A = this chain, B = another copy of it.
Amino acid sequence: MFRKEIKVLDCTIRDGGLINNYQFSEKFVKAVYAAICDSGVDIIEIGKKLVESDEYPRSKYGEWNYCEDDLIKRIVESYQGKFQPKIAVMFDIGRIDINGLKQKTDSPVDMIRTACYVKQIDKALDVVKRCKDKGYETTLNIMAISAAIETEVIEALEGVAKTPEVDYLYLVDSYGAFYSEQITHYINLYKNYMPIEKMGFHGHNNIQLAYANTQQCIIEGMNLLDTTINGMGRGAGNCNTELLLGFLRNPKYDVRPIYKVIQDEFVPLRKTMEWGFNDIYGISGLLNQHPRDGMKWRADKDKAENCHDFYDYCTKAVTGD
C-alpha cells in the first residue's frame, strides 16, 4: 500500500507507559526516539502531560506522565537523524494545567492530543480550542467508542463539526473490540461531521485486529495512523509500528531501525513488562469490555492463564438485567 499522504504516529512511550506508570529510563526513551528518527516515522508521542496530583503523585508515576519541556528538549537534542519527527503529548481531561501551557513558539511540543470519553466532549473541545490558540496542532481522541451509545456519539460529533480548531479527529478502539466492517461503519458515521483526511485511528490488539483495523482505515482513506513499537501498549497493546511500516510501500520509511531497537531494548524489557495478545485479553475484546479486569487477572500469577475461569467470571458478571 502506497499513498504519500499517509502519516504514522508512534505512541510507544505514551501507551506503553500505561503498563508501567511511565517509569521508562531516559536511556530507553532516547533509544526509541533515535529509532523513530531513523525510520522516518512522522510523529512521536512521548508521554502524557498531566499535572501532579493525589491521583498522579510523582512517588508513583515516572516523568513521562508529566513531560516537562526540559525533559522533552533533552530527548530531542540527544539525536540528529535523517528525519526529525514532530513531538506529540497527550492531555487527559481534568488532569491538566491549560493555563500553564506555554505558547508553541516557546515549547518543544508540536502536537497536543486531547483524550476524552464521549461524556467529556464539551470540556475536551474547550481544551482543544485553547491548545490551538497557543499555536499547537491538535487532535481529539474520543475513547471507548465501542461501548458508547450511538446517539451520544453523534451529539459529540456535532460538537466536533462546530470546532474547526480540531485538526484531527481520532476513531479510538480502546477495548480492541472492532473488526473491519465496524471500522467502516464508524468511519462512515464520523464522515458526516469530519472529512476522512482529518481523521486518525488508534486501535488495540485484544482480538489480534489492531493491525488489520489500521489497514481497513487506510483502505477507507484515512491518513493518520497510531502504532507502537513491538505493539507495546496497555493490555493487548497496539498496531505494531514495524508491521505497518512493512505494509506501507513508501520509501521514506525504513523498518530496520525499529527492528534494531526491538532487539536491543524491547527484548530485555519484555522480561519485566507484559503486553500483547493473550487468551485473557482476547476474551475482553470478544466481550467488548474495558481491559482493566483482564489486566488485574493477568497480574495474579496463580490464575493468569486460566482463560476458561476468566470467561466464566466475565460472562456471569453480565447476566441478568
- A262 CA / B305 CA spacing, docked (Å): 9
- A263 CA / B211 CA spacing, docked (Å): 27
List B contacts of A277 (CB < 8 A).
Answer: 208, 277
- Flag whether A260 is at the interface (Cβ < 8 A): yes
A282 touches B243 (CB 8 A): yes
A215 touches B179 (CB 8 A): yes
A212 touches B180 (CB 8 A): yes
For this chain, the copies found in one complex come to: 2
Taking A259-B307, A263-B307 as given, write out 11 further A-B residue pairs in contact, using a Cβ cutoff of 8 Å, ordered by the A residue number. A179-B215, A207-B211, A208-B208, A208-B210, A208-B211, A256-B312, A259-B311, A262-B279, A263-B305, A263-B309, A267-B305
B208 touches A212 (CB 8 A): yes
A282 touches B242 (CB 8 A): yes
Q: Name A residues whose Cβ lies closer than 8 Å to a Cβ of B.
A: 179-181, 205, 207-213, 215-216, 219, 230, 240, 242-243, 246-247, 255-256, 259-260, 262-264, 267, 277, 279, 282-283, 286, 305-309, 311-312
B179 touches A180 (CB 8 A): no
List B contacts of A259 (CB < 8 A).
Answer: 279, 283, 307-308, 311
The 10 closest A-B pairs by CB, nearest first: A212-B212, A246-B286, A259-B308, A263-B308, A260-B308, A267-B305, A259-B307, A259-B311, A208-B211, A208-B208
What's the minimum C-beta distance from A200 to chain B, rounded to whole angstroms? 20
* Residue among A205, A212, A255 having the largest count of chain B Cβ atoms under 10 Å: A212
